[in-house]
A and B are shown apart, each in its own frame.
Chain A
């Protein structure tokens, strides 16, 4: 048990499967290339094909339930509102009637325009969603530090994530304390506003007072020292096949750009 614990710091980071174990920067490159291809092409058939691809990929990687829940949450409003708003905002007497919903005539051209927009937004979002759901921020920051980014950037990013969690708990506690001492948090907007302001002070002042102590504590641990730093996590060296994957992703993006240019000039 002890040996296993010690070895966990000696071995390279192992997150379970091949996709999770990709170098965070290689993974970001692949996801950005695929996501940007949706932005470049802006065609609903291509965009929605990518969405299906993301779902299959999420299933294979093992993050499907979490991915689909998040993906649906961010997509539903965009889908509904964009389709409805385009029916209002795009007007032309030459548009082709499409369907009639309770006397409201929908037209084909605004509907297709809406689908094109939705598909590229979802095509781009899906790629980044998969990236963030399969990459730990500490691994991304470590990869960036290995490429020469300052350790202060890592501290800011990771500490921000922790501060959000800590402060959320503190806000919940303070809000419940305010409730228990009789402050109304339900009712009309004025009542709720009155509950809001007394909650702000304690949250902020407690967070600020901790900052100074944190600065001293970090300095005591050589945070400001300009020499080399040590790490508890070590990313594995990037294998050749990972570079090949990055290259293929770039080729995919270039192909989509070429296809877009050809389609715009009427050659496809």
Chain B
């Protein structure tokens, strides 16, 4: 299939990626799980379709979230950065194996921790934010006496790590479950086509 056709299908996957971000978030709320999983769609589309479709998924997800909570618009760069990292790691073949996938959660948590902390820091007048991370950040500050900004980064990183570890594991299994026929039509889909399927095609 022509490269142009692959790109077209990639753009049609963007709304699905946005919906996945929302639905996984809704599902964890329905099941009362202590995680977010609201960047699964961004990572999957970034890993299968490349940087730009993934970045658009991240941006659109935050714009749609802003309809009910405009403050989330400020955190759009986070979701967009997840897409860039997902596309890069996908090209390196990281999401093909379980252990490297799990380790990649450190990178996503780092983005969530550092960029997230920077945005929160600026938003709340260069002081602690009032999100869920305050539960970790405040005791950390009281116990260690570290600089506030460092506490904010460490707190956000720790809170994000568990969520991102589960997110990348979910993405790993989803990427494994895609049918070869569908993967072959996506810009980075060839990375996830198994050797057996490739051999079968060559025959």
Residues of A within 8 A of B (CB): 42, 70, 73-74, 77-78, 81-82, 85-86, 88-90, 113, 116-117, 121, 124-125, 128-129, 132, 152, 156-157, 159-164, 166-168, 171, 175, 185, 189, 192-193, 195-197, 199-201, 203-205, 207-209, 211-212, 214-215, 218-219, 224
Contacts and interface: CB of A to CB of B under 8 A. Distances in A.
14 contacts: A74-B71, A85-B128, A90-B127, A132-B67, A132-B70, A160-B19, A162-B15, A163-B16, A168-B23, A168-B26, A171-B27, A192-B32, A195-B31, A200-B27
B18 interface: yes
Interface of B: 8-9, 11-16, 18-20, 22-24, 26-28, 30-34, 56, 60-61, 63-64, 66-71, 73, 123-125, 127-131, 134, 138, 141-142, 148, 170, 173-174, 177-178, 182, 185
A208 B9 CA distance: 11
A42 B125 contact: yes
B56 A207 contact: no
Contacts of A203: 23
Given A89-B127, A121-B71, A207-B19, A128 B66 contact: yes
B142 A212 contact: no
Given A89-B128, A189-B33, A205 B177 contact: yes
B32 A200 contact: no
Contacts of A218: 12
B193 to A, nearest CB: 15
Contacts of B70: 74, 124-125, 128-129, 132
B124 to A, nearest CB: 6
A124 B122 CA distance: 14
A208 B178 contact: yes
A70 B18 contact: no
A2 to B, nearest CB: 34
A175 B27 contact: yes
Main SS at interface, chain A: helix
Nearest to A172: B30
Nearest to A171: B23
A134 to B, nearest CB: 12
A200 B30 contact: no
Contact of B130 (A78, A116, A156, A161): A78
A125 to B, nearest CB: 4
Nearest to B32: A192
Given A117-B125, A156-B11, A88 B27 contact: no
A192 B22 CA distance: 19
Nearest to A129: B70
A164 B23 contact: yes
Given A117-B125, A156-B14, A166 B19 contact: yes
A193 B33 contact: yes
A128 B70 CA distance: 6
B174 A204 contact: yes
B69 A89 contact: no
B15 A77 contact: no
Nearest to B185: A212
B31 A192 contact: yes
A158 to B, nearest CB: 9
B6 to A, nearest CB: 11
Contacts of B73: 128
Contact of B16 (A78, A88, A113, A208): A208
